[in-house]
Amino acid sequence: MNDLPALLHREAVYLWYYFTVQLEQILGWWALGMLVGSAVSVFAKDAIRRALLSLRGGRAGALGIAAASALGIASPLCMYGTIPIAASLSRSGMRDDWLAAFMMSSILLNPQLLLYSAALGGAMLAVRLISCFLCGVAAGALVRALCRRESFFNFRGFAEPENRDTDPNPLRRYGKNLWRNVRATAGFFFLGVLLSAAFQRYVPAETMTALFGGNEALGVLMAATVGVPLYACGGGTIPLLQQWLLDGMRPGSAAAFLLTGPSTKITNLGALKIVLGWKHFLLYLAFVMGFSLAAGLVVNAIL
């Protein structure tokens, strides 16, 4: 019993060491994501909406799906901000397949998370960007194929989103947005770094290799499944993935985790259930799992 305080102190020292090393590696990327994400939100949000509206009157056809997916990635909004925008666009005559592409990619990625994902390395940054873009395109194509004669979404009851960036001074407007972003993500970010430190200390690298780096199909399936309950915030999962990749996780497994995680986050599912209804909601879940598995296997085959 006398050795317990010394043991606890030793473990705290180890955890603090791993925590500070991980924090040093990743803090700059998180801060850069905050700075750029807030800049996009304050100064480019209206331009993104105008770009979406400009698609409405054109003749882009199926190519509009790709444009809408790209604009979804550029959008800084969360799901509860995206849905009212999508409702407004729908009332303005935007097609459901374009809306599906925009909403799908907006769920998966935004400028802030894109920059933050650079902490995983150039290859994984490219994998995340391309897989999220293609997931949006695939969602739009699926809606285009299945719902030519009926509406896929039900936006009744969704009003225009409240604009909180109203300060007439642009610097103060940016500062307030940045502070909201930091408050919303900082807790998850530091929790993610702490969990990563705990994994480094207590989970052998061989375990991660066995789970996510051995059998390709099983590893991708495991990662896609783990992404459902583990993903709470992008700021919390990047440190974990950084360590898991070092411990032997395959890139395809990481890609599957990054697709299923945000798309099945409980807050996002709650919002989507309202606008999709049960039939389309179940179709959405099947699409997300199927695309994540396929994307993970393709990424492993390429990398």
Residue 22 has pLDDT above 90, yes or no: no
Name the DSSP letter for residue 161.
Answer: P
**Taking all residues of the chain, what is their mean pLDDT, rounded to a whole number?**
80
Q: What is the pLDDT of residue 137?
A: 95
User: CA-to-CA distance for 274 and 75, rounded, in angstroms?
Assistant: 21
Q: What is the pLDDT of residue 53?
A: 74
User: CA-to-CA distance for 289 and 1, rounded, in angstroms?
Assistant: 49
Read off the pLDDT band of 70 (50, 70, 90): very high
| pTM attached to this predicted model | 0.82
Instruction: Give me 145's structure tokens.
Output: 């194929």
Q: What is the pLDDT of residue 105?
A: 93
Q: How far is CA 211 from the centre of its chain?
A: 23
